[in-house]
Structure formats: C-alpha cells, structure tokens
A and B are shown apart, each in its own frame.
Chain A
Amino acid sequence: MRARERERVGSSTLDPTRETTARSSAADGTHGVERQPGQMNATRLDEDFTSSVHVYEPHRNGLPRLRPYFKALWQRRPFAIEMSRASIRADNVNTFFGQIWLVLNPLLLACVYFLLLMIIRGRNNSFDENVVRFVHLCACLFVFHIFFAGCLRQGASSVVGGGKLLLNMSFPRLLLPLAEVRTAFFKFLPTLALFFVILLGFGRPLHWEAIMAPAFLLMLGLFGAGMAMIFATMQVYFRDIGNFLTYMIRMWLYLSPILWYPEMASDGLERIGIPPQVLHVNPLYSMLGGWSDLLVRGQIPAAEWWIAGTVWSIVAFVAGAVFFMSREREFAVRL
C-alpha cells in the first residue's frame, strides 16, 4: 500500500474519470436527485447557474472560462453589496458626525482650492464669474475626489486587504474591487446632494440638460472600476503602490478640468496650432468636462466628448477586468 501501489490504482482509474465535464455533470445531477431534499439546499443555487462540478486545472496567466466566471460573479453580487455596506458602516461608526464629516470634508477641500484659485488668478472677476467658478469646482472636485479617487484608493487595497478571505474562500475575486466602486459611489451621493444645495443656494438655475449628466457619471464609474481592478492587481505585486497612487491622483487632479475650464486648455492649444482633440488623451477631460457642462452651464457637450468618454471607459473597464482575471488565481499564493 505504498506510493507505488497507489500510483497504480490512480492510473487505472484515470481513464473512467477523464470524461467530459458535461457527462460528469449529468451524472452528478442524477446523483443529486437521489439525495434527500434537505441536503440540496446548499447546492440548488449553484446548479441554477453553474453545474456543481468544478474542474481545476493549471492555467498560467490565462483567463478563466468566462461564462461560468461571470455567472458566479453575478450570483455572488449580494456578497459585494454586503462587503461594501459593511465597510461604509465601519467608516462612519459614530453615525451623525460620521455623516457630517463625509460632507464637510469635500466642502472644506473645495474652499481650499477656491482660495488657491483666487490667489493665483487674481480677484478681478465679477462676483457672478466667481460663483460659476466655485460651482464648477464643486461639481468636478466632488466627483473626482470622492468617487473617482475613492475607486482608485480603496480599490487598490481591496485585494491585499481581503487577506484571510482570499486565502480560505473561493469566489470570483473581481467582486472585491467592484465592491469598493460601490462604496465610493455611496460615499459620493451625499456630496452630490451638497452640490445641488450649493448650486441652488448661489441662485444658479437647474438646467434641464442635467438629466443627461448621469451618462458621464456612468462613464466615470466604468473608468474608475477599470482603474480599481488594475491597481488592485498591481498592489499584490507591489505593496507600496499606494504611495505612488497618492501622487498620481494629485497630478491627475491638476491635469483635469477641475481647477480650470475645459475651453481654457483647448483655446490655449489652438492658439499655438495644436489640435485641441489632443486633450482627450486624458480620459477625465471629457468625462469631467461633460459632467460640469451639463450640470453647471446646461450645455450639451459635442459629439467627440461623448465618443471619447465612452471609448475610454469601455477600454479601461475591459482591460482592467482582463488584467485582473488573468492574475487572480495567483493572488492566494502571493498574499
């Protein structure tokens, strides 16, 4: 009964088990029927979506089979929702002041940046122009700082922070960064309310075009999710990516139309003979610009902005998901 004998037994049983997955899942199905109903509770859900047969084979940096993966992902979405809820709850434990801080923090930040703008640009503008500038700043800063940067920062640490859960449970890992995208979105919602308070408080009109703004928010969300997946993967290999990310977010803030208006950059470029379309190299140029144009000015952005934003967000989302999924089997070993 030593190793040699076991090997012989192993190889003799090798052929009958090397049946196709379809056949063995059918066999398992009949097996399941024979069992008492009480036992089936746990598997019923799985069988609705995927077969209860799991085959694990080496796949080096390859993608998992996509259909079962996305089915499992869809099926486990309550987990992502609960994960995100738990982290929101953990974040504002002392509920009332926690909520206040969620709103106060971005407001103070907006004030700091506005002060900076006043110092740099001078105060020779009219009051009305300053109001528009402040409202534009709030529109873009809140969505950038709370939503987009939140996706990046929390998404990046989602996998490494998953720790024991990753080591001891098997589930589609993509749920972790996606849960953080949801968290960032729900943290952003109160600041969106704050934005409308500011908008109306300064007597600015609410344009009907604002109903199109969610399209740009969606683009930003997809783009942020893609970035979250990429940085979550990178953090497994480079634990200090968070330090680097801080600078990146700061630079991205300055390079995006938050502290300035989109047309300032395009006019400047046109004057020196460079086509302003170059600005779409920065995905946030169209996304934030379109968001603010619709909300603050009630202008419908040009077609190229819609196209640039859509293309960027889809490319980032797909690339991020592919990168993440091709690496996720390695996470358990690397943590």
Chain B
Amino acid sequence: MTTNSTSTADPAVSVENVSVSYRTTFEKVPTFRSAVRRLGRGQRVVHLVEALREVSFEVNHGTSIGIIGANGAGKSTLMRAIAGILPPSEGRIEVHGRVSTLLALGVGFNRKLSGRENVVLGGLAAGMTREELNERYEEIADFAELGEFIDMPMQTYSSGMSARLAFSVAVHLNPDILLIDEALSTGDAKFKQKAARKMREVAENAGTMFLVSHAMRSVKRLCNEALWLHKGQLMMQGDPTEVIAAYTKFLEVGEDAFSLEDM
C-alpha cells in the first residue's frame, strides 16, 4: 500500500470550492415550436438550482468513502462532477486515476441492445481495449449471473437484473476510483452480499471507492470514511460512525429507524 507515502501530496480526488448548478426551464421538453411561440411573449423563466455550493474536500488513495445525505442533497451531482460528466460551475476538481462510474439505476445502457452488446459498449466507452474486454467478458457475465438473459434485449430485464449487470461491468473495469450511486438498492439479498464482498475486495486492493447510500449500515461496514452533504453543502467529513451519528441526530431519528431498510 502506498497510501501513506502519497496521501498528503497526492490525493486521489481533490475537490476545491466546487459549486454545480443546473439551469432548468419549466418546459418539460424544449422544442423549436415553443421557442418560436415564446418569441411573442418575451423571456422565458430560467430556474437556477444550486445543487452543490462551495464544497471542498480531499480523498486519499485507498479510501472508501461513504456519501450520505437526504434526497436532493446533491450526492448524485457530486458523483457526476467527479466523473467529469457535469462540469463544475465554479471551483476545480482534480482526479488522479481512472474512474469507473456506477451511477443510479439503468446506468449507461441502451435498452434495445442485448446485455452482451451493452457490456461491450460500456467497456469501450470507459476506455477499455477490445482485448481487455474479451479477456474479462466471461468474468463480467458470470458475476452478473444472468444466464441466457445476457443475449436478450435489455428491455426484457427487471431493474434488479440491469443493476447487477451494471455493477458487474463497473467493478470489472479495474478502476482506480469506483463511484457507486445507490446502484444496489434493487438487487436481491444474495446479490447484495456478493456485491458487498466485491466492493470490499476493490477497497482492499488500494482502489478508491465512493459509495452513495441511504443504508447507514452498509456505509459503516464498507467505508472507512464518510461525508455528509446537506442541501448542497458539506456538513461533515470523518469517521463513518461519527458522521452517521451526527447525521441521524440531525434528523432527530434514532439509528434503529435506518437499520430497517438496510442496504
């Protein structure tokens, strides 16, 4: 492990004063027709949502960090900013190493294509070579345990099945930094255990992992650091037990209430 020697000089991810805002209009779908219609009526209303506000933190190599917070706190936004999908509107994000994303459900999948084609497309989009993919394809398919469904269009998958495939692709990309956003919430109990084991394996192999979860127990079990976001602001970063205790206290709910819907 090289974490100690490089920890201060060279963090895996450093986020400096990052703000991310979404500009939305109240139009459901922007169209040319509505734009022309609007010409007569003047300005359209643009709504600015500040999803992240001046967030700064650093994560060292080899850390598995849990991100917790209420719905709409900006957790998914933070993951997308670190993955380079959403540009920050202010601040700077520096990422050292290759990022593999597992964001929300459905991940990057084209539902008309088969599971196999999607695995290949996902891997290539993430920058794998064909040889690497051929090497690892069987492993990915085996881990997802989809049987003959792997060659069926993904329209025929249940949400848990696509989540399994997505998780399998993400962990087998051998990322330096793994981002997981609630992707396990629909997996069945058996797969969750298997996934948890795999995540621990990734974490132990000196990989860096970000885990967004509403399940406090899995954060405690899998992470050695935690980060609490509230309404786009960083409330606390530190030991998972402490952060979770503070968070639950903040919510004025006992920890028991959370263990019910664990993981």
The reply to whether A169 and B85 contact each other, CB–CB distance below 8 Å, is: yes
CB < 8 Å: which of B9, B108, B176 contacts A164? B108
The reply to whether B16 and A58 contact each other, CB–CB distance below 8 Å, is: no
Which of B64-72, B123-131, B254-262 lines the interface with chain A?
Answer: B123-131
Give the contacts of B41-72 with A (CB-CB under 8 A). 54, 56-58, 61
Contact code string A47-77 (vs B, CB < 8 Å = 1, else 0): 0000011111111000000000000100110
With an 8 Å Cβ cutoff, the count of chain A residues facing the other chain is 62
In the complex the two chains form, what is the Cα distance from A229 to B97 in whole Å? 30
In the complex the two chains form, what is the Cα distance from A31 to B4 in whole Å? 11
DSSP majority for the A interface?
A: helix
Given known pairs A17-B16, A76-B125, A238-B31, the reply for A52 and B176 (CB within 8 Å) is yes
**Is A24 among interface residues, defined by CB-CB distance under 8 A?**
yes
CB < 8 Å: which of A2, A76, A82, A163 contacts B127? A76
CB < 8 Å: which of B22, B31, B61, B122 contacts A169? B122
Give the contacts of B97-122 with A (CB-CB under 8 A). 97-101, 103-104, 106-110, 112-113, 117, 120-122
Q: Which B residues touch A28, using CB under 8 A?
A: 10, 96-97
Give the contacts of A105-121 with B (CB-CB under 8 A). none
The reply to whether B121 and A83 contact each other, CB–CB distance below 8 Å, is: yes
The reply to whether A17 and B14 contact each other, CB–CB distance below 8 Å, is: yes
Q: Which B residues touch A35, using CB under 8 A?
A: 2, 206
Q: Which A residues touch B246, using CB under 8 A?
A: 1
Which of B186-194, B216-224, B231-239 lines the interface with chain A?
Answer: B231-239
CB < 8 Å: which of B6, B125, B173, B176 contacts A165? B125
Given known pairs A79-B124, A83-B121, A238-B32, the reply for A52 and B98 (CB within 8 Å) is yes
**Is B132 among interface residues, defined by CB-CB distance under 8 A?**
yes
Report the minimal beta-carbon distance from A174 to chain B, rounded to whole angstroms: 13
**Is B145 among interface residues, defined by CB-CB distance under 8 A?**
no
The reply to whether A52 and B96 contact each other, CB–CB distance below 8 Å, is: yes
The reply to whether A240 and B31 contact each other, CB–CB distance below 8 Å, is: yes
Given known pairs A165-B110, A244-B32, the reply for A333 and B236 (CB within 8 Å) is no
With an 8 Å Cβ cutoff, the count of chain B residues facing the other chain is 79
The reply to whether B10 and A170 contact each other, CB–CB distance below 8 Å, is: no
Given known pairs A57-B92, A171-B125, the reply for A3 and B8 (CB within 8 Å) is no
Q: In this complex, what residue of A is CB-closest to B89? A: A58
**Is A255 among interface residues, defined by CB-CB distance under 8 A?**
no
Q: Which A residues touch B88, using CB under 8 A?
A: 56-58
In the complex the two chains form, what is the Cα distance from A28 to B11 in whole Å? 9
**Is B201 among interface residues, defined by CB-CB distance under 8 A?**
no
**Is B87 among interface residues, defined by CB-CB distance under 8 A?**
yes
**Is B184 among interface residues, defined by CB-CB distance under 8 A?**
no
**Is A264 among interface residues, defined by CB-CB distance under 8 A?**
no
Report the minimal beta-carbon distance from B130 to chain A, rounded to whole angstroms: 6
Given known pairs A31-B2, A332-B85, the reply for A53 and B96 (CB within 8 Å) is yes
Contact code string A311-335 (vs B, CB < 8 Å = 1, else 0): 0000000000000000001001110
CB < 8 Å: which of A34, A42, A240 contacts B175? A42
Q: In this complex, what residue of A is CB-closest to B153? A: A90
Contact code string A156-195 (vs B, CB < 8 Å = 1, else 0): 0000000111111111000000000000000000000000
The reply to whether A1 and B101 contact each other, CB–CB distance below 8 Å, is: no
Q: Which B residues touch A6, using CB under 8 A?
A: 56-57, 234, 236-237
CB < 8 Å: which of A39, A46, A240 contacts B206? A39
In the complex the two chains form, what is the Cα distance from A44 to B238 in whole Å? 32
Q: Which B residues touch A332, using CB under 8 A?
A: 80, 85-86
B residues touching A (Cβ–Cβ < 8 Å)? Answer: 2, 6, 8-11, 14, 16-17, 22-23, 29-33, 35, 54, 56-58, 61, 80-81, 83-101, 103-104, 106-110, 112-113, 117, 120-122, 124-130, 132, 173-176, 205-207, 233-238, 242, 246
Given contacts A2-B235, A164-B106, list 7 more A-B pairs with CB under 8 A: A11-B56, A16-B9, A27-B6, A28-B10, A90-B113, A164-B109, A171-B126
A residues touching B (Cβ–Cβ < 8 Å)? Answer: 1-3, 6-7, 10-11, 13-14, 16-18, 24, 27-28, 31, 34-35, 38-39, 41-43, 45-46, 52-59, 72, 75-76, 78-79, 82-83, 86, 89-90, 163-171, 237-241, 244, 329, 332-334
User: What are 7 of the A-B contact pairs (CB < 8 Å)?
Assistant: A10-B57, A43-B176, A45-B132, A83-B121, A167-B103, A169-B125, A170-B99
**5 interchain residue pairs of minimum CB distance:** A10-B56, A79-B124, A42-B174, A238-B32, A170-B84
